Amino acid sequence: DAKTTQPPSMDCAEGRAANLPCNHSTISGNEYVYWYRQIHSQGPQYIIHGLKNNETNEMASLIITEDRKSSTLILPHATLRDTAVYYCIVRVRGSQGNLIFGKGTKLSVKP
């Protein structure tokens, strides 16, 4: 699975959009980009995934660059409950084995 790079921490004002970047310059053609988040002392929670098109669901939007070497997770209206560590992971969809979680980005939403 390709390696990802994320900033260690970010702040966001409550009600504003939170844009979390992820670099995955070695991603291969059949690897998807997945995002999970982990609220303190809880298990990680799946957010969204995509291959090359932008994706949106009830939690977030995922923007993937045309060359697929980077992506951005967007929380359109961040709330205090969105404070968590956000993990960007790339892997072949449907492949078995573990998810490789790096250190992620700690997002702090402030009032």
Residues that bind other proteins (CB under 8 A): 34, 41-46, 49, 87, 93-104
Q: What residue ranges in 1-111 does DSSP mark as E strands?
A: 9-13, 18-23, 31-38, 45-50, 55-56, 61-64, 70-75, 84-92, 105-110
Of 94 and 111, nearer to other proteins (C-beta) is: 94
CB of 16 to other proteins, least distance (A): 26
Of 15 and 102, nearer to other proteins (C-beta) is: 102
Short-list 67, 89, 66, CA closest to 20: 89
CB of 74 to other proteins, least distance (A): 19
